[in-house]
Structures are given as structure tokens and as C-alpha cells.
Structure 1
Amino acid sequence: MTTHEARDIARSRIAGGAGAAHRHDSAHKHVTGEAIYIDDMAEPAGTLHAYLGLSTVACGTMRAMDLKQVEEAPGVVAVLTAKDVPGVNDISPAGLHDEPIFPEKRVEFFGQPLFAVVAQTREAARRACRLAKIEYAEEPAIIDIAEARAGAARLVARPLQLSRGDATRAIAAAPHRLKGSMRAGGQDHFYLEGQIALAVPGEDGDVTVHSSTQHPSEVQHMVAHALGVPANAVTIEVRRMGGGFGGKETQANLFAVVAAIAARRTGRPVKLRPDRDDDMTATGKRHDFLIDYEVGFDDEGNILGVDLTYAARCGFSADLSGPVTDRALFHCDNAYYYPAVRAVSQPLYTNTVSNTAFRGFGGPQGMLGAERIIDEVAFALGKDPLEIRKRNFYGGAGRNVTPYHQEVEDNLLARIVAQAEESAGYAARRQAIAAFNEKSAIVKRGIALTPVKFGISFTATHFNQAGALVHVYTDGSVHLNHGGTEMGQGLYIKVAQVVAEEFQIDLDQVKITATTTGKVPNTSATAASSGSDLNGMAAQDAARQIKNRLIDFAAERHGVPREQIAFLPGRVRVGNQEIPFPELVREAYMARVQLSAAGFYKTPKIHWDREAGRGRPFYYFAYGAACTEVSIDTLTGEYVVERVDIVHETGRSLNPAIDLGQIEGGFVQGMGWLTTEELVWDEKGRLMTHAPSTYKIPLASDRPKVFNVTLADWAENAEPTIHRSKAVGEPPFMLAISVLHALSDAVASVAGHTICPRLDAPATPERVLMAVERLKREAAGKA
């Protein structure tokens, strides 16, 4: 190809291809209500409805379960208990057989599903559930992390230890030492579309399940095991979810399995959709953590040694608690180099719902520990926390190895933070805030700038693979299918843009189709921020297979070298002529050229030895920084997020519009976790915050008054990812840590920044007020 031809191609790239800021493919449908979710689908004739009967104690055994009145209730067709499971009575994703579909005797959390009612209507099933008479032998329940740690703590998964150097010796020898602990609260996923499944039985024992899940292949396996059939008898289909955030990675299993068992039992389609209260009560959440830390440092604020313990409330079963607590340790460093470090996880058993994946997957909790240490050092030395942060960044000879012994090769921390510091006017604003606080007796302001370094890949290496299926039809239109699921994050449109780019066709020529295990098998969950990385590469592989066949065909048919064939927008240059893409496709079809391909991708370089605590669990890191300014009312604890400035890098973005939306949304969701979203259990283990009336996610009015988000467009992934892009699903969530530290900075002003506020999360107005009063007392005591 000549230089002139290359420039011609570059100038005429297809609109809407990779890198274009294209709107979400279903955005207009979401707004108008045209988007079809499972509960919007036309129900097949004869559809029945199931509902779950939940336990009313947190710990004990069932002495008797009388379901006679339930069975006799109007409209009831069947009642299912453990004895009605035709296959394996277990849905544990970790394979530990510790999570029954329905328990036989033992009850382990308040709200545990004990049975299911199948009725003519959902209301009939729901009302019938309340007629159950269950006699319990109730036992004391373990609810809180502190209770779980007392005595002989029971773990639901194997703990992990990461270490490098001798942390104990380094801390003991340091000029300064301190220790403390902090709590990081949990979080409900609060997806707009709740858990739901519709199971349709077929012939020969087959079943198709429409499931709101991020992991269709896992649901397929769970349904197959529960029914006692091979996986090929079960098809899972997902067109879209109304939000997931990790809450539909494993938690969808129960609903799909119960619907499938009911469909098998009755021979009719069965839908299962709990109401919001029962959904929040019976499904897992973000793990809350109790983090103990000890740190040694010098007069300049250089960290010399760190010892960390991350104890998590995991619930009654393992679920994903092992990997979640592992990842908390992987991010206990965040952006900082520890010369000597020891970090240990404690995944603790409690009589609460089994906690699960949530955006960041333990990483946010890990980073909170790192940032608290930075604050402690800064307050101990009377320095600006940002100075301490920058002093301890990764970078330089011998300062690029993580606690898990992976080298930080693509280090963008200093440049990202410098850009954020400059664009936010950090130094000048810190001075202005200090002047404001001197004059303001009631309202105090605070500011903080915090970085994010987040590893991208599943830490379970085998999950880092994906498949895709691409068909090109004789009219030039393209059918695209892959293993990723769409939960509003824009994965479908990004992968479609990749395929459009390869063929140089308009984006509307690429048909986005529902994820189904019948087309692409053995898929990984859409999680770990890897959806675009994995599925984009798999789809590109499939498209390139077809593209190469077309090139070979055109070269032979027209007698030109392959090098003289180029795909241009809507057409293909073959030597000196240009052929419309559909015309070339038709010619290829007539010559019996295969126009379908299955693509595959597996992430290179990664490996992990858990026993040794060493390896390269992450393919690359994503970086960002956020500067947040807040104001608090010291009489009430109420606060306002005044301004946020974000600089975040997504490599060479596949779709800047989608990426900006992910950054903004992730930040606000993270802000909710750290400020207003509080999970409360009573002494009996009953979740008290199980509805919008008692659980407070951020509202539109809670967004920062000034919200500036900038993509670091100079950044490019050093690794050959799809078009050199970087993941953007999870990393922005942790930018919100700046909000917690800005609140801490404002609280600290009441004591002249001489005392570390040690503000726990969520920093509700009540906690902010209590921290203000505590610091006032401590300052008065010192005086």
C-alpha cells in the first residue's frame, strides 16, 4: 500500500467505528421505555409465577415446617422445598457445597429462602408464602465483624497473606510508628431492575432461562446441576440488565434455578421476581471490612513498613468472598510503594446474607486502608496529605514492586496527579479554604486529592478468556454475538464498534444480539472491568478471520496481490477498482467462501501462585486522580460536595462518550458508598435498610455542584489491548475516596489539623457530627 493510499484510508475511516463517541445503542429505548427487560417480555401461554418463602430467624434449625395452608391457598399449583430438587441442592459458585438452594434443616441468616410457591399469579404466590408455619430452634447469631473475630473465628474461605521484606522489623526500626483501625461499610447494589428469571421448559428435558445475570455460563451450570441434566440441555439468554454492579454475577443463580425447577415440575413456563424488600434481604452485598493497620515512617513521611489485616463480614457461605478479600490485599498499596509489607485477609463467617461481588471487588476496601495510612502519617508530621502521597508513589529504581511481587511497568501516577493538581488549582484552593475556615465558625471546608491505581484482569487466571461469533450475511449486514453481557455500561456498543471498524461498515449494519450460551459457550462473567478487553478482542479475531478470507478470495478472483486490497468505508479497494462491501460478500458467497467465524481471546502474560503470594495477576493498571472539595455544617454534620475535578485515563478510548459516563457514574456510586449508603442489622440479624425509604443512594441533587471530568487523552495502553484501550468499569469508583478524605479534612479543621479524624465509612452526617465533637473534645483536652 502506498503512503497516499494509507492517508486516504486514515481520512475516510468509518463513522461510528472504534474511537468514536457514539451514544449507547439502547439509550433512546431506556429513556422512552422501549427497552425490553425480562419483566417486559410477553409471557408464554400458561406462565406461572414463583415466590420465595424466607426465614424469620438468623441462626438455628427448623424443627418443623408446616406448608399445608400454603399448598391449599388460592391459585397455588406447587410448593417446592429441598426434597423437590431433582439434582444437586447447591448453588455455591466456589464449589464448596456450602450454599443450598433450600436448606433441609439449618437456617443461617434472616431472609434465607426456605421454600418456593408456584401459583397462577405472582400476588397469589406471594400471599401464600406468608401462610407457612415454621418452628425454629433459634440460636445466638453472629452478626458483626467484631463478634466474628472474637474467640475461635470461623472462616468461609482460605485467607491470603502477601509479604515482601520484614515488615515487623522495618516498623520497629522506624523513627515514627503508629497503629489504628477503621471500618469500611458494605453497600447494596440497588440495581434498577431487580433479580428475575423466566424459565421455559422444552422437549427432552431441555429448558431455556431468561436470566438477569452477568454470568450466563455459571447460571447454565447451576441450573443443569440442580435439574440433574447436562449443560447442553440448558440455554441461558440475556439481552440486557437494568444494572448489575456485581450483584448479578452469582446472586442470579438462585432465581434462575428455582424458576427452572418449577418449570420442570409443572411443565409450564415459570417467572420468579421478588419485590425490592425481599431482593435486598435475600441477596448479597459489598463486604464491609474492619481494617487494622500499623505503619512505620521517617521524618519526611517516607513509609518504611506496613502491617495490615483486612477482616471482612462474608456471611454464611463462601460465595466470592475468597477472591474479594484477596483483591482487597492486591490493592492495599493503591498507588504507594511499601519497602516492607505484610497484609493478611480474614474472610469471616457471619449469620448474614452471603456477601458477593460489587464494583471494585474488594479493591475499594483495600485502597481505603492505604489512604488511611497516608492520612495518619500526614497528621502525625503536620504535612499536607498530598505531599505524603506523592512522596510514596511507585516510581524510580527499586520502587516499582507490589506486595504481590508484580512490577508496576506502565506507571502514570505522577503525570496523572500532576495534571489533576494543576487543573483543579489544588494549591491555591487549599490556601483559600484555610482562610475561609479561619473566618467561618460553623461551616468548614475541606479538600483532598487522591490517586487510583487499579489492576485489570480476573485474579483467577482461567477467567481471562472470551469467545465471539460473527456472521456476515449476503447483503453485507453483520450479526454479532459474544459472551459479554450488557447491564447499561455500553459493552455491546463498544464491541459492535470494533467489528464495524474491522469491516469498515456503518455501525447500524452490525446487529447486536442477546448473549446466549447456545451461541458462545463457556464464557466468563462480565466483571473485573474486563468486558471490552476480552470480548472486543474475541470479536475482532472473528471479524479478522472473515476479513482475511475475503481478502484471499478477492486477491485470487481479481488477480492482485493481497497487499493491494484495502477495506475502505463501505467498500473494498481491490487493485485499481473499488467494490461495494455487500457486492464483494455476495461474490464470496457464490464462490463458497465461509462468511462465519468463532473468535477467541485469552489474556497474555498473567499468572498467579496464590500459595506463594507471587505472580502477575494483572495485565496492566488503570490510573486516575480526583480532587474533591466539600463543606460541612459543624452543628448538624450535614455536608455538600462543592466541586470535583477528575483526570482519568482509559488508554485510547473505544468510545469517549461511554467512558465519560462510566467515570461520572462510578464516582457518584462510590460517593454513595462512602457517605450515605448505610447497611443496618438489628440484634436478631434482620436487615433494617431493605428499601428506598431506609437505604439512601445518591440523588441527582447530591452530585457535585461543579463536576469536571477529563480523559487523559495523551495516555495509551502499553499493552496491545483492543485498540490500545483500557478498562473503565471499576477504576473510577475509587476516585470517590477523595470525598471521604475531603470530609476528613473539613472535620480536622475544627482542631487545627492536629488530630487525624479517623473518619469511618460511610461518613454519614451523624458520623461527621460525632467526629467533629470528638475532635473538639480532644483539642480542648490537649489545650
Structure 2
Amino acid sequence: MRKLIDTNTNELPMRERPSKGKTGQSMKHESAEKHVTGKAVYVDDMPEYPNQLHVVVGGSKYAHAKIKLMNLSAVRSAPGVEAVITVKDVPGHTDIGPVFPGDPVLVSDECEFIGQPIFAVAAQSFEQAKKAAALAEIEYDVLEPVLTVEKALKDKFFVRPTHQHKRGDSAKALENAAHRIQGEQYVKGQEHFYLEGQVSSVVPTEDGGMEVFTSSQHPTEVQKLVAEVLGVSINKVQVDVRRMGGGFGGKETQAAPLACIAAILANKTGKPVKYRMSRQDDMEMTGKRHDFYNTYDVGVDEQGIIQGAEIMVAGKCGNSPDLSDAIVDRAMFHSDNAYYLNNATVTGHRCKTHTVSATAYRGFGGPQGMMVAELMMDDIARHMGEDPLTIRKRNLYGIKYDHIKTDDGQIDERNQTHYGQTVEHNLLPELIEELENTSDYWKRREEIKVFNAQSPFMKKGLALTPVKFGISFTVQFLNQAGALVHIYTDGSIHLSHGGTEMGQGLFLKVAQIVAEEFQVDLDTVQVSSTRTDKVPNTSPTAASSGTDLNGMAARDACLRIKDGLFKFATEHYQVEEDKVRLESNHLVVTNAAGEEQWVPFADFVQQAYMGRVPLSSTGFYKTPKIHYDRETGKGRPFYYYANGAAVSEVIVDTLTGEYKVLRTDILHDVGRSLNPSIDIGQIEGAFVQGMGWLTTEELVWNNQGKLLSNGPATYKIPAVGDAPIDFRVKLLEDRPNGEATVYRSKAVGEPPFMLGISVWSALRDAVSSIADYRFSPPMNTPATPECVLNAVMATERAKEAQWAQDAATADSVNA
């Protein structure tokens, strides 16, 4: 019999204690203490070399112009300057577009946004480089810029071809519908505002290559592009990413130009070079979330159930393709959000403008697509005189109706998207039902109606909005990952994988997976920085797939090592394979008599080493089942869907447009959580960031294409005071992923971002109460107080018009 309690320490002996930090346990972020104490090392914290140079880039003064003349002699002779480069100094490729060409590392003759890099200066200090860059003399032939989505649509000025999804006959369905409603919205973009700005530090190596330290979500892309601009093979360049101080998609492609420019200057001077952008340069010269102009035309029956829809999403892509093709695709994929569109045509345009190229941002176009779906739901509800939640629930995927039949007379399953993917393992109907009950939605709805009827100026609003977000890169080949695991002879474990850590807890989660596989304490596992010489050909850490991909790759490496360890154990201890297991930092061997021998993990590893058993392995994973035919617009682009819903309550001052979020309840589906505390933290942060996108964060350009919101004084991210006063977040329990992800978990990075839509919808609900919920207020985003006040005035006018119409109808009846 095993002793359960050590009487001397009153603690369980090591072999009786569950391993600490395995999956499913709430563990603090692996760098949490380093973050709060300032010990976490970012690229700009790394010790500088005595001969290190610093970079500043000279950019275009105009949104669209030809360079007529450029004189950089004063720049070259300025104090401290050691090198000045233009595109003519690039040894290799000059275009660093991540997918499609269109992003010159330095402009040759035509500038297409204000701040577009033309030349770069390397000096002994940042201040010297900045002063020198200001001495450049450049003459331009100024051209007319295209600055708006509307102008680009009119001129058919696109960075990539238009794409379309089609299911059934939308035109016929609209024509035959009992009710037909149209609407439009303009959804502005968003600045990433990561706390650590864009930065790269590059050191020349003795073999003509480069060692690159960068704040990037995509080390392999940085490696490839640096090699290409230098004209060397990829194996000459090594990229190291320990951590980022935030990324949110802004460091997926936007980090590469800094590394490339620094590498060209390092190659030219033979010295280490660091390029760290100032905050203003960062905001003006790097990409942001896409603006979207969305329209819809929807037909519904007498119950508000959608019969057909035609939706257009048009992204403001900026001056180059960057990732816009896939981003607009994802907006199209998510223009249904959680709702069955029936007969549908969805069209996506990639509009070119002479502004900085828009890029990846948390949700990758999905949030902008979902906005049109939620706009539709609110507008249908107001038109039909129903509560918006009622209309949302009636239109959910998987809700079947006896009176709605397919062409062959069968009841329509209502589970196929407009791009042909079947919505499986659909949790939203029960998730929404649970949330409406736990949040007391209907009780609060009645209380809010009473409050609004009695309050002349302050109005409350309430909204429940769901999320159905597809998980996978929509570009198939990116859905792969590698990992490297070593076990050392003292039982400690070293882990390296292709994912990057930007504060989201990826390193911790993958380490927990390794600890789970070997049944050891989490502090046994050490995670290294992400390096391209350890794990090659990595995909970006994006699309919410960091844990799905890298966790499975790490697990694969562990399983390969364990296979060898267990074979050795059966031979060494002369038992069958089912008589050995790993548990609580031990190898447990059961002999023929049923007696257990507990061997400390470190001792067992030492035995295996002496037995010449491999203690190291690579691992690999590729996502199964996914495919998409771009020609037909059909396929299964997503492995699975993550689900969630939020109820938000707001109060609006109709005299000023100011408002406050009073309460938010969130119920979110993460499958079988790998780390509940990390997941809840991600949900809280994503919600607030999504709320900020839709309420306070406003990008403003002037009519010349210059960004005016270029610093924290002119761009307002949400602060503590903007968060809901009452904030309740809960994970959906006992719902493992229906697909075979790592331990049946689900992605959590992007899906909860879109829960912030509930705040925008609640603001519209509050304003709609002015007209007794008979009018759906126009409210573009961000819904700043000014925007809300405009919606209030529009609703007042609609109310007066309705009164006049009602009075005229009454007079006609009386006559």
C-alpha cells in the first residue's frame, strides 16, 4: 500500500502529487513576473554593440507623386551618418510583398502613400539619423490620389480581382420575399497600438549572412525576405524572436521591411544596425485594420426568417495587396456570422487607395464581415417590430422549420454556408439560451423599457450578439507547424516550436502540452525563443491557430520520444508495454504480481540515455479536412468554428451622445480549455479591444491622405474607465471540440474580439428607443459620442416623420 501523506511535511510525496501545470490547469503566464518587474527582454532592451548604427527612413510627402529629383548630399554629410541607401543600393530583390508584388523596400520613382520609404539613413545615434533624414531635398510631380473606398469602387481601382460566393438564386428569393430591406454601413479601421513598436536589430555574420532579432509574428517570412533583398540563400539568415510587446496582426507582415532595411545597411557598412520606429512613424508608415464599406439587400418572410440576401463587402486595402486578398475573403466568409442566409450572393472588392497598405489585424477581416450580419439582424427586428434577440435566434444555423422545405420536399437542415461548408458541432442555440438565462436578458429588457419610458434624456440599450468564427488559415499551405523537443539527462526538457509569443500565452500552453505528455511539472519544461535554425519554414502566428498547430506539432515530437522510451522500459524492466506509464514525475512499472515500482523521471531518462535511446525529436502537424476551390467559391476553408456570445447593456446621454457600458456578460466556447485563466484573460482583452474598435478608436486622414490620428493624443484606445462596470466572463463547460484538436481544445485569440459588437448593437438599441424601437438608427463605426449624437438626431427626425405619417393615416381613416 502506498503512503498517501508524508507525516513529516504534511504534504503528498512527489510520486503521489499530480504533476503541476499540465493542461486544464490555470497557470500564470510564463513571463508574467518578468513583464511586471521589467526583466522581460525585448529587442530594444538587448545590449547594444559599441559600433551599432541606428536607422531613420525618409518618406514621401505626398499620397501620390512621381519623384522628379532627389538630392541626398546633405544627408550623407550630416554628423554621425555612416551610410545612406536608396533602392539602387539593394543587392537583391527590391519588392518585398508578402504574397503578391507591390511593396517596394524603397521607392524607385512613384510614391503611393504619405510616409512611403524612399531612402534610409544609418547613423551613430537615432537622433543624428533623424536630423540627417530631414535634410533631404526631393522634388515631386504631384498626382491626384484616390483616398476613399467609394472613389475606388467607382473607378474599379482594385489591388486584386473581385471575388464572389453564391448559393441558390438570391435574386429570385429577394423578389418573392414578403419583406425586403436594404442597408449600408461604413466600418472604419483600427491602429494596432502594440505597446512595443516595430523594431529589428541585425548583426552581420562572418559568412556573409545576417543574425536578425525582430519583433515579428512571422520569423520565416522575415528570414526569406532579408535573404532575398541581400541576394543570398535563406540558410545564411537566422531570425530570433523571443517575445513581442503585442502584435495583434500588426507584426505579421509589417515587421519585415524594418529587418530588410536594417540588413541592407548592415551589409553595406559591415556593422550591426538597429531600426526602431518612433511611435509617430510607426502609426503613419505601417498598416492598420481595413476600413470596410458594406451593403446588404435581404428578403425575409413574415417571421423575419431570411429567404435570400445579397451582400457586398468592400475593403480599403491601401496602396498594395499585402494580405488583403485573404482578409476580404474572410470578411466574405463571415458576412453570415451565425445566421443561415439561405439563397445568398456575397461579393468582395479589394479597393486600392493611396494610403498606407492595410494589413492583418485580430480577426483578419472577419469582424468587418460580421458587422453587416449584425446590422441586418437589428434592421430586420426594427422592421418586423420584434426584439433583435428573437430575430437572431430564428435565423441561427441549424434551426429547422417545418414550413421551409428544399426543392425535393425535405425540411431544410439550414446548416450550409454560402460558401458550401456544413456547420457541424453547432453549439450556438444552446449557448445563447444559457446566456440569455444567466444574464436575465428578458427581465432586464422589460426593466430597460420602463426606464426609457420614464427617462427623457438618458436611454439604456441592451443587445445579445453571437459569434461563429472559422478557425484555420484560409490559405491551405499555412496550416502546418513544426516543433523540436529535447530531454536532457537530468530530466529537464527543452522545447522549441514555430509559434511566436506576443503576450497571449502561447509558450505557456505548448509547454503545458509537453508537461502533460511526459506527466512532469511545468517548471521541468523550458521554452526557447522562436528561431528559424531550430524549426524551419514556419507559418505566422496568426489566424488563432498558434496552439492548434504548434501544440499538435510539439505533442507529435513528444509521442515520438515516448514511443522509444516505452519500448526501452519494457525491455529494461521485462514487462509488457501496457505495464508501464508516466505519472506524477515518475515512470511507473507494474510487475506480474501487480506491484508498482516508481522510478523518478530523471532517473528513468538517465537509464534510457545509458541504453542509447533517442531523447530528442522533431514533430510536425498539418490541419486535416480543409480545402477551398477559389474558382467555384466552394469548400471547407475552416477545420471548425469557435462560438461565443455577449450581452451588453449601455446608457446613453441623448443630449451629448456620451455613453457608458454598464454591464457585459460573456459565455464563450473554448472546447476543453488548456488553461482557463489564460483563456479568460484573452476573452476579456479581446472584448475590450473589439469594443474600442467600434466606439473610441478613430483613424482620421485629411483630404491630402495624411494620417492625423498619429499618436496617443489623437487616437483613443480604451482605458480602464471604458471597460464595463460589471464584467462577467464564463467559459462554456463540458463541450470538448468535436474535431480532433489538441486535447479537444478550441482557439481563443480572435473569436472573442467580435463579442465587442454587442456594445455597438446596444448603443443602436438605446437610440432606437427614442422612436419606440420602430426605427433602426444609422450608426457607422467607431460610434464616438459625436456619431451617437448624429444617430440620436436622425432618430428624432424619423420619429417626427412617423408621427406625421400616423397623423395623416388617422385623418384619412376619419375622412
Q: TM-score, normalised by structure 1?
A: 0.98
User: Quick one: distance in 2 between partners of 1:196 and 1:159?
Assistant: 35
Q: Is the 8 A contact 1:12 1:568 kept in 2?
A: no
User: Quick one: distance in 2 between partners of 1:97 and 1:383?
Assistant: 49
Q: Is the 8 A contact 1:336 1:393 kept in 2?
A: yes
One of 397, 407, 426 as aligned partner of 1:394: 397
Structure 1 residues 202-254: Cα deviation after superposition (integer angstroms, max 9, x where no partner): 01111110010000001111101100011100101000000000000000010
Structure 1 residues 173-221: Cα deviation after superposition (integer angstroms, max 9, x where no partner): 1011121211111000000000000000001111110010000001111
User: Quick one: distance in 2 between partners of 1:518 and 1:159?
Assistant: 39
Per the TM alignment, residue 112 of structure 1 is displaced from its structure 2 partner at its CA by 0.6
What residue is the counterpart of 1:304 in the other structure?
307
Q: 1:736 to 1:11 in 2, by over 3 A?
A: farther
Structure 1 residues 718-760: Cα deviation after superposition (integer angstroms, max 9, x where no partner): 1111111000000000001000000000111111111110211
**SS of 2:463's equivalent?**
strand
Per the TM alignment, residue 781 of structure 1 is displaced from its structure 2 partner at its CA by 2.2
Per the TM alignment, residue 292 of structure 1 is displaced from its structure 2 partner at its CA by 1.1
Matched, 1:601 2:624: no
User: Quick one: distance in 2 between partners of 1:290 and 1:464?
Assistant: 30
Identity %: 54
**SS of 2:437's equivalent?**
helix
What residue is the counterpart of 1:347 in the other structure?
350
User: Quick one: distance in 2 between partners of 1:62 and 1:713?
Assistant: 61
One of 112, 135, 159 as aligned partner of 1:131: 135
In terms of mean alpha carbon deviation, does 154-163 or 651-660 score higher? 154-163
Structure 1 residues 120-164: Cα deviation after superposition (integer angstroms, max 9, x where no partner): 0011111111111110100111111112112x3111112220110
One of 168, 171, 185 as aligned partner of 1:168: 171
Matched, 1:44 2:44: no
In terms of mean alpha carbon deviation, does 140-149 or 450-459 score higher? 140-149
One of 381, 385, 389 as aligned partner of 2:384: 381
Q: Is the 8 A contact 1:502 1:544 kept in 2?
A: yes
What residue is the counterpart of 1:116 in the other structure?
120
**SS of 2:770's equivalent?**
helix
Structure 1 residues 673-692: Cα deviation after superposition (integer angstroms, max 9, x where no partner): 00000111001100000100
What residue is the counterpart of 1:5 in the other structure?
none
**SS of 1:264's equivalent?**
helix
Matched, 1:256 2:259: yes
What residue is the counterpart of 1:407 in the other structure?
422
Matched, 1:426 2:441: yes
Per the TM alignment, residue 11 of structure 1 is displaced from its structure 2 partner at its CA by 8.4
Per the TM alignment, residue 9 of structure 1 is displaced from its structure 2 partner at its CA by 13
User: Quick one: distance in 2 between partners of 1:340 and 1:590?
Assistant: 67
Tell me which amino acid in the other structure corresponds to 2:571: E
User: Quick one: distance in 1 between partners of 2:482 and 2:802?
Assistant: 64
Matched, 1:224 2:227: yes
**SS of 1:594's equivalent?**
coil
Q: 1:565 to 1:540 in 2, by over 3 A?
A: same
One of 568, 574, 599 as aligned partner of 1:559: 574
Per the TM alignment, residue 46 of structure 1 is displaced from its structure 2 partner at its CA by 1.2
Q: Is the 8 A contact 1:13 1:569 kept in 2?
A: yes
Matched, 1:742 2:762: yes
What residue is the counterpart of 1:643 in the other structure?
663
Tell me which amino acid in the other structure corresponds to 1:58: A
Residue ranges of structure 1 left out of the alignment (5+ in a row)? 1-7
Matched, 1:70 2:75: yes
User: Quick one: distance in 1 between partners of 2:455 and 2:101?
Assistant: 59
Q: RMSD of the TM alignment (CA)?
A: 1.2
User: Quick one: distance in 1 between partners of 2:381 and 2:16?
Assistant: 52
Matched, 1:723 2:743: yes
One of 546, 551, 557 as aligned partner of 1:531: 546
What residue is the counterpart of 1:761 in the other structure?
781
Q: Is the 8 A contact 2:514 2:558 kept in 1?
A: yes
Q: Is the 8 A contact 1:215 1:523 kept in 2?
A: yes
- How many pairs were matched up? 774
Q: 1:415 to 1:11 in 2, by over 3 A?
A: farther
What residue is the counterpart of 1:106 in the other structure?
110
Q: 1:107 to 1:149 in 2, by over 3 A?
A: same
Structure 1 residues 365-420: Cα deviation after superposition (integer angstroms, max 9, x where no partner): 11001111111111111110100000000004520000110001110011110111
Structure 1 residues 689-712: Cα deviation after superposition (integer angstroms, max 9, x where no partner): 010000000001110000000001
Per the TM alignment, residue 506 of structure 1 is displaced from its structure 2 partner at its CA by 1.0
User: Quick one: distance in 2 between partners of 1:367 and 1:572?
Assistant: 50
What residue is the counterpart of 2:58 in the other structure?
53
**SS of 2:491's equivalent?**
coil
Per the TM alignment, residue 10 of structure 1 is displaced from its structure 2 partner at its CA by 13
User: Quick one: distance in 1 between partners of 2:183 and 2:451?
Assistant: 31
Tell me which amino acid in the other structure corresponds to 2:486: H
One of 248, 254, 265 as aligned partner of 1:245: 248
What residue is the counterpart of 1:180 in the other structure?
183
User: Quick one: distance in 2 between partners of 1:9 and 1:185?
Assistant: 56
Per the TM alignment, residue 713 of structure 1 is displaced from its structure 2 partner at its CA by 1.4
What residue is the counterpart of 1:23 in the other structure?
28
Give the alignment of 1:137-148 within 5 angstroms: 137-148=141-152
Per the TM alignment, residue 51 of structure 1 is displaced from its structure 2 partner at its CA by 1.0
User: Quick one: distance in 2 between partners of 1:223 and 1:472?
Assistant: 33
Residue ranges of structure 2 left out of the alignment (5+ in a row)? 1-12, 401-411, 591-595, 804-815
Structure 1 residues 580-623: Cα deviation after superposition (integer angstroms, max 9, x where no partner): 11111111111211111000000111111111111111000000
Q: Is the 8 A contact 2:687 2:752 kept in 1?
A: yes
Matched, 1:712 2:732: yes
Tell me which amino acid in the other structure corresponds to 1:130: A
Tell me which amino acid in the other structure corresponds to 1:589: Y
Per the TM alignment, residue 111 of structure 1 is displaced from its structure 2 partner at its CA by 1.0
What residue is the counterpart of 2:493 in the other structure?
478
One of 89, 92, 97 as aligned partner of 2:94: 89
Q: Is the 8 A contact 1:479 1:510 kept in 2?
A: yes
User: Quick one: distance in 2 between partners of 1:417 and 1:328?
Assistant: 23
Q: Is the 8 A contact 2:215 2:255 kept in 1?
A: yes
Per the TM alignment, residue 45 of structure 1 is displaced from its structure 2 partner at its CA by 3.0
One of 605, 624, 628 as aligned partner of 2:644: 624
Tell me which amino acid in the other structure corresponds to 1:774: A
User: Quick one: distance in 2 between partners of 1:782 and 1:742?
Assistant: 23
In terms of mean alpha carbon deviation, does 771-780 or 442-451 score higher? 771-780
Tell me which amino acid in the other structure corresponds to 1:547: K
Q: Over alpha carbons, which structure has the higher Rg?
A: 2
Matched, 1:587 2:607: yes
In terms of mean alpha carbon deviation, does 712-721 or 448-457 score higher? 712-721
Tell me which amino acid in the other structure corresponds to 1:138: V
One of 723, 743, 749 as aligned partner of 1:703: 723
Tell me which amino acid in the other structure corresponds to 1:124: Q
Q: TM-score, normalised by structure 2?
A: 0.94
